[in-house]
């Protein structure tokens, strides 16, 4: 590759890294690989996934999540209760010092409830993560297919939404 091609390649890589990773200005928290699972038309909810990395020496606590594209967003966790898989709302999620928490199918995940308009594959979803004692951190998550990563059929019917 000639030297003239490098600026384009570097610009493209920088753009990809921005989409895949967002951090607080002080670098203590970063978010990697945010994405939202594609849902059928007129679905009342979808799921969001990401990884929260805590680069600081103190525990960080996620206290709320929101999106201007959904009426409500909640953090949930998949658990076994009396031999059955259940999805339970988590009012807060603790991220240990120098640790991380992964939101993925079958574990922690974001429930994006009642979209305000129809979203389709490839669209972007703005998600605001509020940590205790800080300004919200905003991430941009792309809607992607995830057939190979989805929980077993019907699993999301078992949400304990506490509504």
For 59-96, the pLDDT digits (tens) are: 999 999 999 999 999 999 999 889 999 999 999 999 99
pTM attached to this predicted model: 0.76
Q: Using one digit for the tens of pLDDT, what is the confidence trace for 99-121?
A: 999 999 999 999 999 999 999 99
In terms of Cα–Cα distance, which of 137, 119, 104, 130 is closest to 35?
A: 104
The predicted pLDDT at position 44 comes to 95
Residues 6+ apart with CB under 8 A from 153: none
Q: Using one digit for the tens of pLDDT, what is the confidence trace for 25-58?
A: 567 899 999 999 999 989 999 999 999 999 999 9
- Residues 148 and 145: their CA atoms lie apart, in Å, by 9
Least confident of 15-19, 32-36, 127-131: 15-19
- How large a percentage of the chain has pLDDT more than 90? 66
The predicted pLDDT at position 134 comes to 86
In terms of Cα–Cα distance, which of 59, 87, 58, 57 is closest to 75?
A: 87
Dihedrals φ, ψ of 39, to 5°? Answer: -120, 155
User: Quick check: 116 and 69 in contact, CB under 8 A?
Assistant: yes
Pairing of strands 108-115, 70-81: antiparallel
User: Quick check: 107 and 50 in contact, CB under 8 A?
Assistant: no
When pLDDT is cut at 50, 70 and 90, the band that residue 23 belongs to is low
Buried b (16+ CB within 10 A) or exposed e, 47-79: bbbbbbbbbeeeebebeebbbebbeebbbbebe
User: Quick check: 30 and 22 in contact, CB under 8 A?
Assistant: yes
When pLDDT is cut at 50, 70 and 90, the band that residue 150 belongs to is very low
Q: Which domains are delineated in the chain?
A: 6-160 (2.60.40.1890)
Question: Which token pair is 115?
Answer: 């979209």
């Amino acid at each position: 590759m000639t030297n003239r091609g490098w600026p384009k390649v570097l610009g493209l890589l920088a753009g990809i890294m921005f989409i895949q990773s967002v951090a607080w200005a002080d670098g203590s928290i970063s978010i990697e690989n945010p994405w939202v699972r594609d849902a059928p038309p007129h679905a009342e909810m979808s799921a969001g996934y990401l990884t929260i990395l805590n680069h600081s020496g103190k525990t960080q606590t996620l206290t709320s999540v929101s999106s201007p594209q959904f009426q409500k967003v909640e953090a949930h966790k998949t658990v076994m209760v009396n031999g059955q898989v259940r999805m339970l709302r988590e009012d807060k999620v603790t991220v240990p010092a120098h640790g991380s928490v992964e939101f993925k199918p079958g574990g922690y995940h974001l429930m994006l409830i009642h979209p305000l308009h129809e979203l389709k594959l490839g669209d972007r979803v703005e998600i605001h993560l509020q940590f205790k004692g800080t300004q919200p951190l905003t991430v941009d998550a792309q809607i992607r297919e995830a057939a190979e990563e989805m929980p077993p059929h019907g699993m999301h019917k078992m949400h304990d939404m506490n509504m």
